[in-house]
Amino acid sequence: MILASQLRPGMAIRYEGQIYRVVAGDYHPGQGKMGGVTHVRLRNVATAAFWEHSFRAELKLETVPVEKQHLEYLYSDSDHHYFMNPQNFEQIGIPAGVIGPQGRFLQAGTTLTVEFVEAQPVMALFPDIMEFSIAHTAAPVHGQQDNTWKTARLENGVEIMVPQFIKTGDMVRVDINNLKYVDRAKGTSR
């Protein structure tokens, strides 16, 4: 059991028979005779629906343990991404909705941390920066100003903007949260 005022993102709770994962939480202390309130954004583990709710700060909630596993990506089909647990070689199919739009950045052999609540996957944690090969871009232009950019298509089909000196085959590091070029990877080309 935990007090509502102690809820933090990443926790899982059981409330009214449903299991929720805390996405965001904000505690507001009360003044005078007014008690404190915790505003939370919850995601239902079973339906993936979001719900915003306010709890009295002193309300006790049942916590549900969140288990983290490091899984290796294998392949995808139309509605699932398949991973392997490297400890026991068990394959796990995770719905595309749990992985989210970042699923397009999955490459064979990529290792992710996946969170499970009661043996059900609830979230995949991607690194902020990943390395990709440039599949196609215009020929490099040297001697241009450093602040000019051109379009490049990554090996997974995603298009980003890169500096003029980048060429097809270069390995680049990309911030996958906002699709921004970070820098050239250490192994510069294949």
For the beta carbon of residue 52, count every other beta carbon within 10 angstroms. Answer: 10
Q: Which numeric CATH code is attached to 66-125?
A: 2.40.50.140
Place of tokens 């005779």: 33
**Sequence spans of domains, the chain:** 2-64, 66-125, 129-189
For residue 129, the one-letter residue type is I
pLDDT of residue 186: 77
| First-to-final CA distance of the chain | 53
Q: Which numeric CATH code is attached to 2-64?
A: 2.30.30.30
Q: Percent helix, strand, coil in the chain (nearest 5)?
A: 5, 55, 35
pLDDT of residue 143: 64
- Ramachandran bin of 128, using left for φ above 0, alpha for ψ from -120 to 50, beta for the remaining angles: alpha
Fold of 129-189: OB fold (Dihydrolipoamide Acetyltransferase, E2P) (2.40.50)
Q: Do domains 2-64 and 129-189 have the same CATH topology?
A: no
Q: Global pTM?
A: 0.72
Each residue's pLDDT, cut to its tens digit, for the chain (190 residues) gives 888 888 888 889 999 888 898 989 888 887 777 778 889 999 888 887 888 988 888 889 999 998 999 999 999 888 889 999 988 999 988 888 888 888 888 888 889 888 888 888 888 888 888 888 899 988 877 765 667 888 999 988 888 999 888 888 989 999 988 888 888 887 544 4
